[in-house]
Structure 1
Amino acid sequence: MTDANDSDAGTNDATPPENDGQRFDRLPATAAERVVPGRPTREEVVGWWEQRYGVPPETWEGHTFWEKGNGKLWAFAADVVSPIAVEGLGLRILRTRQEHWKPSTNAVQRFATEATKNVVVLDGDEATRFAKGEDQELPRWDGDWGYVVAAHEIAGAVEPIGVGLYLHGELRSTVPKGRREDLS
């Protein structure tokens, strides 16, 4: 979804457009429409969620994607003119423009319920430790290293708790300090 006001729609001056930390700019649909260097595209974001976590592309139907600042991506379940100078727009879903893209806790809890890849299902004690923000040895995981969906089975369904970082047999909790819970 692009429109004539989209900051990635191009300009006539010699300097290429760049990120502005004071406004939201809609992501271009494809690389062919990219004007701001390094800005991810809608196609890349949807593809990343599918490739990394198995989240079906249909999950994102009805959402527009926005960047504010350098690599902070947001999903909005509607559309507005771009660029737009507001403090918040939808839900922050992803941090890009670094070596490894990192999903937000909110995004994993909201959009990774259908994830089929890189989901670490934790037992009760492990889930409790993860929610408290504790790192833990987890040598049984034989999936990819990197950012994973930490989940727990509740009432017969696997529900995402948040984002973990799995490296060298250890699951590191990335639950933000203000969101940590003592479930014991």
Structure 2
Amino acid sequence: MSENGDDGTELATNDGQRFDRLPATEDDREVSGRASREEVLDWWDDRFGIPPETFEEASFWEKGKGKIWILDGDLESPVHIEALGMTFLRTRQRHWKPTTNAAQRFGRRATKNVVELDGEQARRFARGEDQEIEWDGDWGYLIAAHEIAGEIEPLGVGLFLHGELQSLVPGGRQRDL
């Protein structure tokens, strides 16, 4: 299957039954709409201040439409398996969304768009509750964090809009602490 790109060249279409490595750059793109490695690294740097070097040894893969996975290392592409590494990012929507796994794994390196919650706010966030908070930073997806044993620990992903932090902790991972 194929479709035409913006410049009229024929592009392959996404196959949701396999993992395909992300192209290195936009110029290397063969599947319409697929993010490139460069775009993914730039997004994490721009949104959260996590430097591209953090992911130097990682490869990025798409399975399904916009479901990006990260693997420590590399494989030949494509790969026909059920899971590979860790879910990392959702693309192919208006605003890209980091996964809870990615926020918890890499959020300690974030220098931007991290909202530090106090004890009660962190408990509410972990239970999956939305709450009004004071935040002077950007609207959109944030890494919610809380100080534990003297270190800031990422709890997960929240969505901040109009003075409200929406907890995006998946139902099966919500906890009453």
TM-score range, shorter chain: over 0.9
Give per-residue Cα distances to partners, 1:39-88, cap 9 Å, x unaligned: 10000000000000001111101100000010000000011110111000
TM-score of the superposed pair, with normalisation by structure 2: 0.94
TM-score of the superposed pair, with normalisation by structure 1: 0.90
Gaps of 5+ in 2: 1-8
Matched, 1:32 2:27: yes
Match of 1:154 among 143, 148, 156: 148
Alignment partners' CA distance in 2, 1:89 and 1:18: 21
Gaps of 5+ in 1: 1-13
RMSD: 0.9
The residue correspondences of 1:14-25 to structure 2 (distance < 5 A) are 16-25=11-20
The residue correspondences of 1:130-169 to structure 2 (distance < 5 A) are 130-138=125-133, 140-169=134-163
Alignment partners' CA distance in 2, 1:57 and 1:79: 17
Matched, 1:81 2:83: no
1:182 match: 176
Residue 16 of structure 1 and its aligned partner are, at CA, apart by: 2.5
Alignment partners' CA distance in 2, 1:67 and 1:26: 6
1:126 match: 121
Return the structure number with greater strand share.
2
Percent identity between the two aligned chains? 64
